[in-house]
Amino acid sequence: MTAPLIASTPPGDGQLNAMLRARLRCTVALKRVFVWYIELIVQLPSEITASMLFATALIVTLVVGDFASTFFYHVPQHLWFTLHLRTHHDRRRSYFDHAVLSTNPAVLLDGLLGAIPYLVVAALVARLSWPGALAGLVLGQLHVWWRHTTQLRWLTPGWARRFLRPLAIVLPEDHDGHHRNPDTEFGDIFRFYDAPARAILAWLAPTSRRARKAGRRTTRRVPAGA
């Protein structure tokens, strides 16, 4: 029988022990990579260091910003609120109009709330490289416009698809699927957030606004003397 990793772990819980060991190994590996990266930056010429910090700030702004926007704004909106669904998923209007052209206050508010996580992350990594953080925000906004071009009948060229698909970049065709079915294709920029977002939606589905409405409808249909 596997011995507990920590004193508070119940004896014999081998699966939990394995999970804790894997998490510990991952944490140690990340710390080593971070230390190696800092030592490398210190030793490199200033021009190369500036380029690396620029790239780091840009990538972190996009990756972490997308994570925060997906799990702290979009997923909660799909579960419990209505603003995002009333604006971004309003099928009565072109979603290119919503994402690019609209001046409707509700649409602009939805866009701002979805962008705040990116702005917060960019402000934090601006200490590494403010040009990199700014470039990340610009690329993120350009991606917003680009991923909503499907209604203009723009198609992603084959060469771009072959280049971007291994990077898990959301293509306009992918985001079009999110508009057609709001329960799929999560992630503003990166597709690898889709699976965990859907898992969280499924896990919290009983608490969702949709489930509460269904429960109220069922209650109304029950005869008073039942």
Q: What is the pLDDT of residues 8-18, one digit of tens each?
A: 444 445 655 66
* Alpha carbon distance 18, 20 (integer Å): 5
* Alpha carbon distance 174, 169 (integer Å): 9
Is 222 contained in some domain? no
Token pair 């990594």 in the structure block, residue = 125
Question: Do 147 and 67 share a domain, yes or no?
Answer: yes
Question: Do 19 and 79 share a domain, yes or no?
Answer: no
* Alpha carbon distance 64, 193 (integer Å): 11
Is 225 contained in some domain? no
pLDDT for residue 27: 78
Question: Do 2 and 53 share a domain, yes or no?
Answer: no
11: containing domain: 1-43
Question: Do 15 and 82 share a domain, yes or no?
Answer: no
Least confident piece of the model among 98-102, 153-157, 210-214, 217-221: 217-221
Question: Do 31 and 137 share a domain, yes or no?
Answer: no
pLDDT at 4 over 50: no
SS3 144: helix
Question: Do 18 and 53 share a domain, yes or no?
Answer: no
Token pair 């939805």 in the structure block, residue = 110
* Alpha carbon distance 153, 136 (integer Å): 27
Helix (H) or strand (E) holding 79: helix 75-80
* Alpha carbon distance 97, 146 (integer Å): 13
Q: What is the pLDDT of residues 108-161, one digit of tens each?
A: 899 999 999 999 999 999 999 999 999 999 999 999 999 998 888 889 999 999
Question: Do 23 and 57 share a domain, yes or no?
Answer: no
pLDDT at 224 over 60: no
pLDDT for residue 45: 62
Question: Do 24 and 130 share a domain, yes or no?
Answer: no
Number of structural domains (the chain) is 2
**Radius of gyration over alpha carbons of the chain, in Å?**
22
pLDDT at 3 over 80: no
Take residue 39 and report the two structure tokens written for it: 């030592």
Within 8 A by CB and 6+ apart from 20, the residues are: 5, 6, 9
Question: Do 35 and 58 share a domain, yes or no?
Answer: no
Question: Do 91 and 130 share a domain, yes or no?
Answer: yes
Question: Do 1 and 78 share a domain, yes or no?
Answer: no
187 burial level (CB within 10 Å; 0-12, 13-18, 19+): buried
Question: Do 85 and 192 share a domain, yes or no?
Answer: yes
Could you tell me the pTM of the whole model?
0.76
Bigger pLDDT: 126 or 106? 126
